Amino acid sequence: MKPTKKIASTVTFIVYDVDPRSFLAFRDVAARIRKRLEDELKNLAPVDTLVIDFQHVEAMSNSYADELIGKLYVALAAGDVAASTVSLTGLNDETRDAISVCLERRKLAAVDADQGILLGQVVALEDTYARALQLGEFRASDIAEAMEISLTNANNRLKRLAEAGALHRERASSPEHGGKEFTYRVPQLEATTPSR
Amino acid sequence: MRTTGVEEEPLVIDGRNLKFGGPLELTAITALTHVHAAADTPVMLYLPDREEVTSYAQRMDMLEHVAPETKIQGWTPFEIRNDCSTRLLEVSPLNLTTRQPVIDRLRIIAQANLRPPLADRVVTGITELVDNAVTHGHSEAGAFIAAQLYTGRTTRHPRLEVAVCDTGIGVLEHLRQGPRTDRTRVTTCAEALRRALRRGETGTDEIRGHGLSDVFDRTEELGIARIVLRSGNGLARIARRGPVRRLRRRTTTCSVSGTWAWARVTFPR
């Protein structure tokens, strides 16, 4: 019998552990850190939730943020990251700002798990994410009803949130309306498997 | 200060009448000597007649970092060196090895003189200049950086000046390498500099190119910011006061190899 691969529930990648500087700079360094993260995820895959922790980092350049986080989220939106959801933690005002800038430029969004908010390109998504946090686990029809928006609109917003790694998305076993339907779930951060 | 020579001709840097020197003068002189030394052309440097200006160049390690082939004429005073690590970043070569210590030194200067969130914002802006020089401006002749924090005693307001001079291919050639660059529209160094200060202009095939613009954005709340760029025969000046930016560019009669960047951020008292 083939052995089944253990699913890593939550994996935390502490940036300071692999790049021990309080001020993060230089694009090429960020590229190496991102590659290491991606390689570690492949080894641990499948991963339910990836947490990228910026504790001890006091500031970072926009270029570094773009190379590490911007490009990671581009890959995430394309389905090329071996994690279902991604959250950022340990941010301060400076690192949050650098990450927000790079995500806005790339028209992407990410979850700041400590503050329970979205960073980056968040128009029309902030309210939806806030509602998702309240609901916990839901379908698009639940969001549409709660926010008094169309089902199509709800589906579009939830798709973008899933591409931003903010929500788990799974095919519903019993679609309410026939056809393809998904259930969504906000990731619960818990005690983790360390990334190394 | 007068200079003569293109790369193939002997370079004479006549600083005898120089009345003032700052980070840009020091890094530019250093870069010039290395460009010509790399081309195997003789270099002569006449030191300033004013003792305080020569003393400043000496204190800022310019004499230590000019190309070793440089013939230096003039008198250097006896030096007593005090610790100025919270105000000065002496002329330093800028490369993959030195860039981290350079940033660490800039942080020391910024944190000693600015309140916490602003100190790191200034440094993150300047880091973009450093990253550009090391990534896009590398060459045999090298790149150099210097910085000084003026307390405001003689300059009315405190300000930080940083100069980065690289000897790479220059902004025009860099942008023209970019697969998304319309080469019919980017034909002069002055135009290339104007574009380099816009968001999203890059000579790479990636979505990036915000570095120079970020120098302003990160320092917006600090007050007045000014950047001067020279590359080839192009010169661009951009000043920002609050949210308002003003850009001027022109073609000069004198060309420089690589790219020279000078940034000044003036802080409110």
Better-scored residue on pLDDT, B157 or A75: A75
Residue contacts between A and B (CB atoms, under 8 Å):
60
Task: State the smallest CA–CA distance between residue B111 and chain A in angstroms.
Answer: 12
Confidence bin at A137 (pLDDT 50/70/90): very high
CB count within 10 Å of CB B265 equals 27
Angle at B28 between CA B22 and CA B30, to 5 degrees: 105
Decide if A155 touches B, using CB distance below 8 A.
no
Read off the pLDDT of each residue in A80-106 and give the average, rounded to a whole number: 94
Q: Note which residues in 31-90 of chain A have CB less than 8 A from chain B.
A: 58-63, 66
Among the partner-chain residues B107, B117, B217, the one whose CB lies closest to the CB of A93 is B117
pLDDT digits (tens, 9 = 90+) for A61-73: 999 999 999 999 9
Q: With CB atoms and an 8 Å threshold, state whether B131 touches A21.
A: no
Cβ contact A28–B208 (<8 Å): no
CA distance B214 to chain A (A): 8
Contacts of B124 in chain A (CB under 8 A): 25, 59-62, 94, 98
pLDDT score for B32: 94
The two beta strands, B159-166 and B143-150, are antiparallel
pLDDT value at residue B265: 86
A182 reaches B (C-beta below 8 A): no
Residues linked to residue B4 through DSSP beta bridges, in sequence order = B12
Q: Does A26 contact B99 at a Cβ distance shorter than 8 Å?
A: yes
What is the mean pLDDT, run by run of 10 residues, along chain B of 269 residues? 63 93 95 93 95 95 96 91 94 96 96 87 89 86 94 82 93 81 80 78 59 66 80 90 81 90 84
- Residue A112 pLDDT > 90: yes
How far A93 CA sits from the closest chain B CA (Å)?
8
How does residue A196 score in pLDDT terms, banded at 50, 70 and 90? very low
Which chain A residues are closer than 8 Å to B217 by Cβ? 101
Nearest CB to B127; choose among A25, A28, A101: A25
Nearest to A59 among B124, B130, B135 (CB): B124
pLDDT of residue A189: 77
pLDDT of B104:
96
- Chain A residues lying within 8 Å of B134, measured CB to CB: 26
Contact between chains at B123 and A60 (C-beta distance less than 8 A): no
How large is the average pLDDT for residues A143-168? 95
Sorting pLDDT into bands at 50, 70 and 90, what band is A7? Answer: low
Long-range Cβ pairs for the range A184-188 (8 Å, 24+): A184/A132, A184/A137, A184/A138, A184/A139, A184/A140, A184/A158, A185/A136, A185/A137, A186/A132, A186/A133, A186/A135, A186/A136, A186/A137, A187/A10, A187/A48, A187/A49, A187/A84, A187/A85, A187/A87
**Cβ contact, residue pair A63, B131, below 8 Å:** yes
pTM across the whole model: 0.88
